A and B are shown apart, each in its own frame.
Chain A
Amino acid sequence: NAGVTQTPKFQVLKTGQSMTLQCAQDMNHEYMSWYRQDPGMGLRLIHYSVGAGITDQGEVPNGYNVSRSTTEDFPLRLLSAAPSQTSVYFCASYGVVTGELFFGEGSRLTVL
């Protein structure tokens, strides 16, 4: 029962560094998304994908890049990390049959 798996769980970066947050799901869901969660701001959508090869921007896409080469994987890339990107990042996949959104455990990122 893996569901949605995110790695790494914790990461510290210096300003200007790049990194990729990994997300994989084993439920054969077409839809996947990335959210960030910040105190007082709630969950905000960064990017989403409705299937392999198709991605689109959410509410706060600047500074992030995504691609979707397979149904299972949806990595989130930070091109040049900034302190404002310090946050907890959640990957989610959506089951069309049940209508439910399933979340990973989160990746806590600190940018110094």
Chain B
Amino acid sequence: KQEVTQIPAALSVPEGENLVLNCSFTDSAIYNLQWFRQDPGKGLTSLLLIQSSQREQTSGRLNASLDKSSGRSTLYIAASQPGDSATYLCAVKRRGSQGNLIFGKGTKLSVKP
């Protein structure tokens, strides 16, 4: 059974710091991995999608990497800002599972001014 783990559960950093959020999964037979952002009381917004054949994806200050063989993905946020404060979730899609994703429980990020 696929399990997705995100450590730490919460992280507090000062503004301007570069930071890394971690995601690990137990079954390397994934189709893709997606990182989401969730603001309090809101839905999930897709940040980055990495296909299983890719090593990384970048969008602005965000960079997500994927090491399928070791079952790990990282989300790198450069020059963090208070507006980056949110919960970040990763999710994996198994091959042949249609759109069913397995989610981690998220990392709650707080960026202090």
B residues bordering A, Cβ < 8 Å? Answer: 31-32, 34, 36, 41-46, 49, 51, 89, 91, 93, 98-101, 103-106
Contact = CB atoms under 8 A, between A and B. Distances in A.
Contacts of B31: 99
A48 B100 CA distance: 8
Interface residues of A, number: 25
Interface of A: 4, 31, 33, 40-43, 45, 48, 50, 58, 90, 92-94, 98-106, 108
A102 B89 CA distance: 14
Nearest to A9: B41
Given A42-B105, A101-B46, 14 more contacts: A4-B43, A33-B99, A42-B89, A42-B104, A45-B100, A90-B43, A93-B99, A98-B49, A99-B49, A100-B46, A103-B43, A104-B43, A105-B43, A106-B42
